Amino acid sequence: MPVTYDVIVVGLGAMGSATAYQLARRGVHVLGLDRFTPPHAFGSSHGETRIIREAYFEHPVYVPMVQRAYELWRDLEKESGTTLLRETGGVMIGRPDSDLVKGARHSAELHGLRYEMLTAGQVRERFPALHPESDMVAVWEPRAGVLFVDACIIAHLGQAQRYGAELRYEEPMLRWEPERDGIRVLTAQGEYRAQQLIITAGAWLSVFFPDLPLRVERQVLFWFDHASDSEMFTADRCPVHLWQFDGRRFFYGFPDLGNGVKVAFHHGGEITTVDAVRRRVEAGEMQETRAALRRFVPAADGTPLASTVCLYTNTPDEHFLIDRHPQHPQVLIASACSGHGFKFSPVVGELLADLAQDNQPRFDLSLFRKLAVG
Ligand X SMILES: Cc1cc2nc3c(=O)[nH]c(=O)nc-3n(C[C@H](O)[C@H](O)[C@H](O)COP(=O)(O)OP(=O)(O)OC[C@H]3O[C@@H](n4cnc5c(N)ncnc54)[C@H](O)[C@@H]3O)c2cc1C
Applying CB under 6 A, the residues found at the interface with ligand X are 10-16, 33-36, 38, 43-45, 47, 50-51, 172-173, 200-202, 204, 219, 221, 264, 310-312, 336-337, 339-343
Q: Give dist(CA 337, CA 366) in Å, integer.
A: 17
C-beta of 120 vs 281, nearer to ligand X = 281
Please identify which of the residues 50, 53, 105, 218 carries the catalytic annotation: 50
Q: Give dist(CA 336, CA 348) in Å, integer.
A: 8
Residues in the chain: 374
- Burial pattern 137-169, b for ≥16 Cβ within 10 A else e, equals bbbbbbbbbbbbbbbbbbbbbbbbbebebbbee
Please identify which of the residues 105, 143, 193, 266 carries the catalytic annotation: 266
Contact between residue 93 and residue 136 where contact means Cβ atoms under 8 Å apart:
yes
What is the radius of gyration, based on Cα positions, of the chain?
A: 21
Q: How far is the CB of 341 from ligand X (least distance, A)?
A: 3
Active site residue 35: no
Please identify which of the residues 105, 241, 262, 340 carries the catalytic annotation: 262
Contact between residue 230 and residue 256 where contact means Cβ atoms under 8 Å apart:
yes
Report the candidate in 80, 57, 53 with the shortest Cα–Cα distance to residue 67. 53
Active site residue 262: yes
Q: How far is the CB of 134 from ligand X (least distance, A)?
A: 27
Residue ranges with strand state E in 12-157: 30-33, 49-52, 85-87, 90-94, 116-119, 137-141, 145-148
State CA 231 to chain mean position distance: 29
C-beta of 261 vs 310, nearer to ligand X = 310
C-beta of 115 vs 204, nearer to ligand X = 204
Q: Give dist(CA 333, CA 371) in Å, integer.
A: 9
Q: How far is the CB of 37 from ligand X (least distance, A)?
A: 9
Please identify which of the residues 131, 156, 218, 343 carries the catalytic annotation: 343
Q: How far is the CB of 169 from ligand X (least distance, A)?
A: 9
C-beta of 145 vs 182, nearer to ligand X = 145
C-beta of 267 vs 328, nearer to ligand X = 267
C-beta of 206 vs 360, nearer to ligand X = 206
Contact between residue 173 and residue 202 where contact means Cβ atoms under 8 Å apart:
no
Q: How far is the CB of 119 from ligand X (least distance, A)?
A: 26
Please identify which of the residues 46, 156, 226, 370 carries the catalytic annotation: 46
Instruction: Give the residue closest to ligand X by C-beta.
Output: 13
Please identify which of the residues 131, 156, 218, 310 carries the catalytic annotation: 310
Active site residue 343: yes
Q: Give dist(CA 214, CA 231) in Å, integer.
A: 42
Q: Give dist(CA 371, CA 374) in Å, integer.
A: 9
C-beta of 210 vs 374, nearer to ligand X = 210
Q: How far is the CB of 176 from ligand X (least distance, A)?
A: 9
Which amino acid appears at position 315 of this protein? Answer: T
Q: How far is the CB of 15 from ligand X (least distance, A)?
A: 4
Rounded alpha-carbon distances, angstroms, from residue 208 to 172, 214, 329, 370: 12, 12, 16, 16
Report the candidate in 55, 218, 57 with the shortest Cα–Cα distance to residue 143. 55
Q: What is the dihedral of CA 64, 70, 72, 75, to 10 degrees?
A: -150
Active site residue 50: yes
C-beta of 143 vs 340, nearer to ligand X = 340
Q: How far is the CB of 318 from ligand X (least distance, A)?
A: 11
Active site residue 266: yes
Q: Give dist(CA 309, CA 340) in Å, integer.
A: 16
**Residues labelled catalytic:** 46, 49-50, 262, 266, 310, 343
